[in-house]
């Protein structure tokens, strides 16, 4: 564990000084315990060779954790202009290793902001705002270019969303998000975080997931084909695939036979590998027209 020297006042004082009362409209639930934020910052492993992109630093709890744990640089995007002065203090205290941009993370070209040089790894770590967390994850998992530019994602979600991301087949939580995340990489719940750890406490518990991208299971499979097949299958998850896949522009029975999947199965019985095979066959059948 790195020796912990955080040169700044406790977060409660920062919040008081800059009047950063949490606003619901920004999805603000702050982490004020630097021991906890350091623990989150350690989940990716050694970050001393990494430029870390953080969405929504707020008053800077996780940001300080990442810097204290040795991140080479942190580049953050915060929508709430009230937080900028407090974040400026962090940048100063940590020798300019923090850069902050004000704006909406959904609109950002993160890779351009990070401007990493050779030998620097790019990672994403964030206590995501609940209202846009899933959208951001989907944005990062649906990049056309894969391997992606980042080496890992370390992200806080509501526990229920985290469970959907890591869910296995034949469970209630298994769905589109599970297939997409597990198609793109290795993912696990790294830390459960109770509601009481936040100020103000949200209604539900949270969890941090850690994701590392892997090479595509089948490089010929198109993202759009997989998304469409998975969307149709889970769109009517109670129905057998022979019915739920009817909305596709190919013959559902022919598709299932080609992918060697029983037509009486339901979406939640289908493994990620089988979905990938379905998407491959779908692409081929479409071409045949």
- Shortest approach of ligand SAM to residue 69 CB, angstroms? 14
Which part of the chain contacts ligand SAM (CB under 6 A), choosing from 20-28, 113-121, 228-236, 262-270? 20-28
Q: Which of 15, 47, 52, 55 forms a contact with ligand SAM (CB under 6 A)?
A: 55
Determine if 65 is a binding residue for ligand SAM (CB under 6 A).
no
Q: Tell me how far apart the alpha carbons of residues 149 and 196 are, in angstroms, rounded to a whole number.
A: 34
Q: What is the DSSP letter of 117?
A: P
Judged by CB under 6 A, the number of residues near ligand SAM is 22
Which part of the chain contacts ligand SAM (CB under 6 A), choosing from 71-79, 227-235, 241-249, 275-283? 71-79
Subset of residues 72 to 91 that bind ligand SAM, contact rule: CB under 6 A:
77-80
Q: Tell me how far apart the alpha carbons of residues 148 and 281 are, in angstroms, rounded to a whole number.
A: 25
Q: Which of 91, 127, 178, 182 forms a contact with ligand SAM (CB under 6 A)?
A: 127
Toward ligand SAM, which CB reaches closer, 30 or 234? 30
Q: Tell me how far apart the alpha carbons of residues 226 and 186 are, in angstroms, rounded to a whole number.
A: 18
Residue with nearest beta carbon to ligand SAM: 56
Which residue in 39, 65, 35 sits closest to 52, CA to CA?
65
Contact between 173 and 163 under an 8 Å Cβ cutoff? The reply is yes
Tokens 């920062």 sit on residue: 14
- Shortest approach of ligand SAM to residue 209 CB, angstroms? 15
- Shortest approach of ligand SAM to residue 49 CB, angstroms? 23
Q: Which of 75, 105, 207, 250 forms a contact with ligand SAM (CB under 6 A)?
A: 105
Beta strands in the chain (DSSP E): 30-31, 50-55, 73-78, 98-102, 121-127, 152-158, 185-193, 198-199, 206-213
Q: What is the DSSP letter of 33?
A: -
Neighbours of 122 (CB within 10 A): 19
Q: Which of 42, 52, 53, 61 forms a contact with ligand SAM (CB under 6 A)?
A: 61
Q: Tell me how far apart the alpha carbons of residues 150 and 95 are, in angstroms, rounded to a whole number.
A: 24
Q: What is the DSSP letter of 108?
A: -
Toward ligand SAM, which CB reaches closer, 80 or 268? 80
Determine if 104 is a binding residue for ligand SAM (CB under 6 A).
yes
Query: Which residues would be at the binding site for ligand SAM (CB under 6 A)?
Result: 26-31, 55-58, 61-62, 77-80, 104-106, 127, 129, 132
């Amino acid at each position: 564990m790195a020796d912990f020297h955080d040169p700044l006042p406790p977060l409660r004082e920062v919040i008081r000084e800059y009047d950063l009362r949490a606003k619901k409209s920004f999805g603000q639930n702050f982490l004020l315990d630097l021991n906890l934020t350091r623990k989150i910052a350690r989940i990716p492993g050694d970050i001393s060779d990494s430029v870390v992109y953080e969405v929504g630093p707020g008053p800077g709890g996780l940001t300080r954790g990442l810097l204290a744990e040795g991140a080479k640089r942190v580049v953050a995007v915060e929508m709430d202009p009230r937080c900028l002065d407090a974040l400026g203090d962090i940048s100063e205290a940590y020798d300019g290793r923090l850069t902050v941009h004000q704006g909406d993370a959904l609109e950002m070209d993160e890779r351009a902001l990070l401007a990493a040089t050779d030998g620097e790894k790019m990672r994403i770590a964030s206590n995501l705002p609940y209202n846009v967390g899933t959208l951001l994850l989907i944005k990062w998992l649906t990049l056309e270019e894969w391997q992606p530019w980042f080496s890992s994602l370390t992200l806080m979600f509501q526990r229920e969303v985290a469970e959907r991301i890591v869910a296995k087949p034949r469970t209630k939580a298994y769905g589109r998000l599970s297939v997409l995340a597990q198609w793109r990489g290795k993912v696990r719940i790294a830390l459960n975080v109770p509601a009481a750890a936040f100020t103000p406490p949200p209604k539900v518990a949270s969890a941090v997931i850690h994701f590392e991208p892997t090479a595509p299971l089948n490089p010929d499979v198109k993202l759009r084909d997989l998304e469409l097949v998975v969307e149709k299958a889970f769109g009517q998850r109670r129905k057998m695939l022979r019915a739920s896949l009817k909305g596709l522009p190919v013959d559902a029975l022919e598709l299932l036979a080609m992918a060697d999947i029983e037509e009486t199965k339901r979406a939640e019985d289908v493994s990620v590998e089988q979905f990938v095979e379905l998407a491959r066959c779908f692409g081929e059948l479409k071409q045949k027209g």
